[in-house]
Amino acid sequence: MAKGSAWLALAAFAFIGCLHQTASVDRNNFKACDQSSFCRRLRQSESEISKFEILPETLQTYKQYILLDLQHAETKHLYVLKLAAVKGGLFHFQIDEKSPLSPRYRVTDALSKEPEYVGLKVEENSSTEVIISAEGGSNKAVVKVAPLKIEFYRDNTLVLVANSKGLMKFEHLRRREVKPAEQAADDGQDVPENAVEEPKEDPGAWEENFKSHHDSKPKGPEALSMDFSFPQGKVLYGIPEHADSFALKHTAGGKSDPYRLYNLDVFEYELDNGMALYGAVPVIYGTGPGRTTGVYWQNAAETWVDIFVPEQENNVMSSIVNFVSRSSQEDPPAANFISESGIIDVFVLTGPSPLDTYRQFTDLTGRAPLPQLYAIAYHQCRWNYNDEQDVTSVSAKFDEHDIPMDTMWLDIEFTDGKKYFLWDHNKFPHPLEMIRNLTERGRHLTIINDPHIKRDGSYYFHNDCLDRGYYVKNKDGNVYEGWCWPGSASYPDYFDPAIRKYYADQFLLENFKQSTAEVGIWNDMNEPSVFNGPEITMLKDNLHFGGWEHRDVHNLYGHMHIMATYDGLIRRSDGALRPFILSRSHFAGSQRYAAVWTGDNMAEWGHLQASIKMCLSLAVAGISFCGADVGGFFGNPDSELFYRWYQAGAFQPFFRSHAHIDTKRREPWLYPEDVKLVIRDAIRKRYRLLPLWYTMFYEHERSGLPIMRPMLAQYPSDLKCYSIDSQYLLSDKLLVAPVLKAGESKVEVYFPAKENGESDVWYDTDSYRMYASVGFESISVDSYKVPVFQRGGTIVPRKERIRRAATLMKDDPYTLVVALDKNGASKGTLYIDDETSFEYRSGKYLYLEFELKDNVLSSKKIDKTASYASKSWLERVILVGLSKVPKSATLHQSNGDSVTLDVYAEDGAVVVRKPAVSMLDGWSIKLNY
């Protein structure tokens, strides 16, 4: 390269080096609200009388929606409200300018399909309100005329009020005058009739600088906001991704910034604040003892969300227990969404229960497809495994130390000079052989593929993008150049369908010849990360397909990247194999394509604690396949933190160890033998429960309900659950309370109250000790102990034969752990298929229900038309909670045969030994006393 280019490259990499040697995140690289002009302009903390009014005489009624004009009382600018009802208990409304100077961006590709709208009926249209009822239910919306307010009711109960505080703003598009109106008047000139003066208090309305970066804002100010109150709510949560408490904190009043939704590359991120991170899912929930309501704010621009919880002192979580018990006369919690551009596009999720509301959101945005079984087993990664020998050696060491592992990962150093789809053949001269060696041992490989493309004239991908006009453009229409890992880079415009197809085509085996159909893909740096850009991302006035500015679509960029990757992997195997993709950036609906991890965390106890809070927030936002870098990406964890993180990670949906290139190598056997054995035990716990995990993932695709759940999801009437984010539920079956602090010998576990105030029965999964009272219990822990409890009334499937990889356990026998409730009954499910393909969608699977009732345990198909020729069989039944040991048990098979089975007591439970019945068959086991 030329000397000038060489100097620029050197400077850029020096800059990158500075970034990654910082002790913690440099907040100066990222905006606060008062540094963002639209947040400054629109943020308000005090309620006011809204300046927007409905014009009731403009009502237009259609079968599935209504239209109403609304007007700003001062500017007289006209807007249009469109209101519709969606099947399943939702409302959808949009507000846009009636005649904008140019179209405003509307989010596409977040919803899984067009919503199924239902009929509407106008019950009343008066000078004060318009009342709309939804067909087929008791839901209604009341549109208040002046000032504008929209009330939403379910079962005649007011559950949500839009613009209740009067904080709605909507900056209409306008032309900037060369001279402000007042100055023109002072000069003796005529004042143009439609002249709009640039706000004196905010010169950033029309153009803005941040550090050395300039944002030209060619359309001028176009921000909007609306507040939502939750009359039945006691606590608000959602709007991931933030490294903060699960329950959202009070931010209104200016003592702290609002929560920010703006996808950014933030390494070594801070804890306990609303700073923007890698993903943005603009859905929020308000839960109270009787009702849960949600709001999905469908906007992909930079967004800030102010939270109103009047009783909270700012940033004091200890007050949650107090504020959830407040009287009904006090103001309900509220949230004010403030976005830089776009339109007001809102789905109201009316519940009524937390689980109903989560299901309504995934009905809109889609459900994660069932992954291959290996993807929910254990993954081993670091930046970087050095070469083929390193990969082979690490894989072999897992076998040597009898530690199961399913996937090896390769970070950016596997590429030829950071050129994706091309291998570094000095380090990896035989990639296909390396992949095949892993596959033959039942393992997989996942490799990274980021969106920045190296600007290198010898790189085919860059040349194609350049020649075909596939790159994002700058404001002048030229190809945008930024800096990332390759140095000078440009970024494909994934909003263009032709570019998405071209990118997806590169994964086809005829193009990416040194890959196989089994290789997983890791989409990193896709916020997008631009090392020399404003806030380490792309300029907002860059241009995308359709002429849209980057400011309109920023939070969707990573989503479009993984959508293209998913298409490529589907076509790579001709639709035969379920893809595995991991993404850092995400938006609403990203769960349809990829798993997510919590980014560049640190080897600190606080980051271990944050992993639970962050994954819970993502789970209720539709993204269940979540995990954190075990051990922390930055830093070197001590032994205790390391093994405790493995124990916590073993009970989160995505389970991967990962580390920065500058950290010490930390494969389990590099720690002392006693530590290695604890880690080995934690990983084996994961493998033992893979049948449960696989069933939960299938049921997630089927129902849309989160796998990892906050306590309030199942126990919304128990107010103590609202402030608990150190323990959680897996489905409705397990309660997990991992050790999250150094030196702990006890963990305080809270056993919740049901609606009637009574407790469920819980059993320690190690000792089978019963806990049947509401309240906190001190659970003693040693280095091996992970406090996990099975709920009475559930049946959990396990596999006890742990092999080197989950793929090798396919036909192994099952054990059923039957935990009795207070009535001596229990139910459970088990899902079985080929663990790799999409044939389950054609009925090739088994979905079984087990039930213990009146001393008889039985198995039957839930979906009777589905079938799969499983070779697996039932090896043991463990019954927990029996008051006495049966003398024997009798197995009755579907063919009419009966067999007497041995029964014995073992470790606090009763074991029925070797029923040896095929999982294909219907059967029952009667306990004989």
Q: Report CA Rg, the chain.
A: 29
How far is Cα 785 from Cα 806, in angstroms, rounded to an integer?
23
Biggest CA-to-CA distance, the chain: 106
How far is Cα 290 from Cα 610, in angstroms, rounded to an integer?
28
Helix (H) or strand (E) holding 498: helix 497-505
Beta carbons of 167 and 227 less than 8 angstroms apart: yes
The count of other CB atoms within 10 Å of the CB of residue 467 is 8
How far is Cα 408 from Cα 446, in angstroms, rounded to an integer?
6
How far is Cα 569 from Cα 561, in angstroms, rounded to an integer?
13
How far is Cα 210 from Cα 230, in angstroms, rounded to an integer?
36
Distances (CA, A) of 558 to 198, 446, 477, 525: 34, 19, 22, 8
Beta carbons of 344 and 224 less than 8 angstroms apart: yes
Tell me which DSSP letter residue 590 carries: G
How far is Cα 838 from Cα 578, in angstroms, rounded to an integer?
6
List, by residue number, the catalytic residues: 524, 600
3-state secondary structure 379-413: EECCCCCCCHHHHHHHHHHHHHCCCCCCEEEECHH
How far is Cα 453 from Cα 482, in angstroms, rounded to an integer?
10
DSSP string, 896-926: S-EEEE-EEEETTEEEEE----BTTS-EEEE
3-state secondary structure 671-722: CCHHHHHHHHHHHHHHHHCHHHHHHHHHHHHHHCCCCEECHHHHCCCCHHHH
Sign of the CA dihedral with 71 first, then 75, 79, and 81 last: negative
Question: What's the token pair of residue 157?
Answer: 């109960």
Beta carbons of 315 and 256 less than 8 angstroms apart: yes
- Closest by Cα among 636, 656, 633 to 646: 656
How far is Cα 691 from Cα 728, in angstroms, rounded to an integer?
20
3-state secondary structure 337-379: EEECCCCEEEEEECCCCHHHHHHHHHHHHCCCCCCCHHHHCEE
- Closest by Cα among 413, 356, 351, 365 to 385: 413
How far is Cα 609 from Cα 796, in angstroms, rounded to an integer?
26
How far is Cα 568 from Cα 579, in angstroms, rounded to an integer?
9
DSSP SS3 for 849: strand
- Closest by Cα among 922, 916, 913, 791 to 848: 922
How far is Cα 41 from Cα 30, in angstroms, rounded to an integer?
18
DSSP SS3 for 433: helix
